[in-house]
Amino acid sequence: MVLSRRLFIKQTLSLSSGALLLGCSKKGEAIPGYDGSDNILDERFNAKISLQVPSILFIGDSITDAGRNKDILEPNQTEGLGEGFVKAISADVLSNVKYKNLLFYNRGVSGNTTSDLRKRWEADCISLKPSIVNILIGINDLRYNFSPVQFYNNYWNILFLTKSKLPQTKVVICEPFLLPNIANYTSLQSNFTEYRKAIRSLVKEYQAVFIPYYQDFLNASKNTAPEKLLIDGFHPSNDGISLLATSWQQFIQ
């Protein structure tokens, strides 16, 4: 992790109170640490996920939530894992005897943005002290017209707090995704491209594992109708869930 941004840290984070503060970047102002070049979209990241650990937390929005029972907070409980890719991944992984003791937690909340995630990060991530935290967030930021600056700053603060309080926790950053059947697809494209650059900048700075879900869905849509993968352009169908789980497991070392 790059630690040369101390001035920016002071402006964005107050660890003494445990509160996260929004970065002070203004519209059109350069974002510290953000690589806005188109070249970053072509970079490939080779970090892998080691599951020889006690626990893994999946956190994000409705795609992670997938209808989970929020009264069930214990790990590895089917209803508590939802009906989406978390359940699919956990079923596959736990069927392997060498991972039989791995604890899976789901803390996805439907409708969440990066701002919502920041507000509940202490309760839903830091307090669990996971060995791995898997983050999939961003499509609601995009739909609600969060600027790339807001998206980047929120995400950066989440990652900084994680590394500050849980330095041994490995971060997995999942790329948000959409397909042309989403409402207002054309108008979303400009910000979505900047979101993708922002996420890659964060992957580099925090040495995270990166799951390139957007590219995976884009490739799959060349041979499959978009609505058969993402029913409304961003919520996965059963085929989409299978793609999410399969793509994720390709990064297990």
pLDDT of 18 higher than 50:
no
In a domain, 2, yes or no: no
In a domain, 237, yes or no: yes
In a domain, 30, yes or no: no
In a domain, 154, yes or no: yes
CA-CA distances (angstroms) from residue 71 to 68, 85, 135, 176?
Answer: 9, 19, 21, 27
In a domain, 60, yes or no: yes
pLDDT of 235 higher than 90:
yes
The arithmetic mean of pLDDT across residues 29-44, rounded, is 77
Residue-number span of the structural domain to which 47 is assigned: 42-249
Q: Measure the CA–CA gap between 96 and 192, rounded to whole angstroms.
A: 37
pLDDT of 72 higher than 90:
yes
pLDDT of 189 higher than 50:
yes
The arithmetic mean of pLDDT across residues 195-219, rounded, is 97
Structure confidence at residue 34 (pLDDT): 77
Query: How would residue 31 be classed by pLDDT, with cut points 50, 70 and 90?
Result: low
Question: Which residues, 6 or more positions from 95, have their beta carbon under 8 angstroms from its beta carbon?
Answer: none
In a domain, 160, yes or no: yes
Q: What is the CATH number of the domain that holds 203?
A: 3.40.50.1110
Q: What's the structural domain count of the chain? A: 1
Q: Measure the CA–CA gap between 61 and 108, rounded to whole angstroms.
A: 5
Q: Measure the CA–CA gap between 157 and 218, rounded to whole angstroms.
A: 29
Per-residue three-class SS string for the chain:
CCCCCHHHHHHHEECCCCEECCCCCCCCCCCCCCCCCHHHHHCCCCCCECCCCCEEEEEECHHHHCCCCCCCCCCCCHHHHCCCHHHHHHHHHHCCHHHCCCEEEEEECCCCCHHHHHHHHHHHCHHHCCCEEEEECCHHHHHCCCCHHHHHHHHHHHHHHHHHHCCCCEEEEECCCCCCCCCCHHHHHHHHHHHHHHHHHHHHHHCCEEECHHHHHHHHCCCCCHHHHECCCCCECHHHHHHHHHHHHCCEC
The arithmetic mean of pLDDT across residues 199-220, rounded, is 97
pLDDT of 13 higher than 60:
no
In a domain, 82, yes or no: yes
The arithmetic mean of pLDDT across residues 154-179, rounded, is 98
Question: Which residues, 6 or more positions from 105, have their beta carbon under 8 angstroms from its beta carbon?
Answer: 55, 56, 57, 58, 73, 75, 128, 130
Q: Measure the CA–CA gap between 51 and 55, rounded to whole angstroms.
A: 8
Q: Measure the CA–CA gap between 189 and 41, rounded to whole angstroms.
A: 14
Quote the pTM value.
0.89
Q: Measure the CA–CA gap between 230 and 226, rounded to whole angstroms.
A: 6
In a domain, 130, yes or no: yes
Lookup: tokens for 207: 């040495």
pLDDT tens digits along 42-54: 988 999 999 999 9
Answer whether 202's CB lies under 8 Å from 156's CB: yes
Structure confidence at residue 32 (pLDDT): 63
Structure confidence at residue 35 (pLDDT): 74
pLDDT of 144 higher than 50:
yes
